[in-house]
A and B are shown apart, each in its own frame.
Chain A
């Protein structure tokens, strides 16, 4: 088993530009330290239609209302910063915002992983090659390339992004690694509630027992922390 940079085709070049946009890094950094409720806020705003921050503040009284942390506290500041960044993403327009959202989930996964494993072991947009096995077309969003304990991550904005192709690619990689005597943990990271993911997975016949599912409420496990209360 060996890792290799993905080919820089036209799609990859365009997407690399989005991945490098400072808004992606800024939003991911806020999300990395966010509470689960703040992550739900970000998901809603980046999925939403309203462009007024006041409208969103009214929708999330536990973050911005009378009972919320007081203005000037770090948690309230983070809510405001996430709202601002999420509105900036939503303002990029329908086509571009979906690419931004995907890039943000990838960047968030990378940031959280860097709290658990050495940053040098974390790579982006990598293919995994096995002897005698045709390479997959799609690279993995994030890989942890630790000898003897490699991890491969596919990141999705929503549960709807879970497909048979994704599940097969992750499970195939695990099986091929095992056939070579290597250990590879495939992980599906979805910026959506596990309840929605389970609905999506319920009618999938593709293998998934060897693939770990990380969802909105358990993102901090990427950093080696237990999930916190959601609100």
Chain B
């Protein structure tokens, strides 16, 4: 079983792939990178809290985050990728049972 920080890091990596797609919209380059910065920080803060507490993944969490990452990786449209840069972290936080903001 993968631990929570490693699962969250896989989501952060997926954010990076969405950034690579979304930044092709030149006018949104800064927004795309700023979104990645703030959401990656939020997710890593949750990971650090969970790791510090020695939290084991809840039932279904590993499958949920794997599936969310797969969903993000299905995105091929850069505009949709920008939508997902905000959506993926929120869905991840809901799966973790955290406040989605």
Contacts and interface: CB of A to CB of B under 8 A. Distances in A.
Interface in B78-101: 80, 82-84, 86-87, 89-91, 93-95, 97-101
Interface string A177-220: 00000000000000011111011101100000000000011000
User: In terms of DSSP, what is the predominant structure of the interface of chain A?
Assistant: helix
Nearest to A50: B71
Q: How large is the interface on B (under 10, 10 to 19, 20 to 34, 35 or more residues)?
A: 35 or more
B59 A158 contact: no
B67 interface: yes
A19 B31 CA distance: 30
B9 interface: no
Given A58-B64, A199-B31, A37 B94 contact: yes
A204 to B, nearest CB: 10
Interface of B: 28, 30-31, 34-35, 38-39, 42, 58-61, 63-64, 67-68, 71, 74-75, 77, 80, 82-84, 86-87, 89-91, 93-95, 97-101
B67 A193 contact: no
Interface of A: 36-37, 40-41, 43-44, 47-50, 55, 58-63, 65-67, 94, 158-160, 192-196, 198-200, 202-203, 216-217, 229-231
Given A44-B91, A48-B71, A193-B100, A61 B60 contact: yes
A67 B31 contact: no
Contacts of B71: 44, 48-50, 55, 59
B64 A230 contact: no
B55 to A, nearest CB: 14
A37 B91 CA distance: 8
Contacts of A61: 58-61, 63-64, 95
Given A160-B83, A193-B100, A217-B101, A58 B90 contact: no
A62 B38 contact: no
Given A195-B101, A231-B99, 9 more contacts: A36-B100, A47-B84, A47-B87, A49-B80, A65-B59, A94-B77, A158-B86, A196-B35, A231-B98
A161 to B, nearest CB: 11
A36 B101 CA distance: 10
Contacts of B87: 40, 43-44, 47-48
Contacts of A94: 77
A84 B49 CA distance: 34
Given A40-B100, A193-B101, A229-B99, A47 B80 contact: yes
Given A59-B91, A158-B86, A160-B28, A230 B100 contact: yes
A66 B59 contact: yes
A206 to B, nearest CB: 15
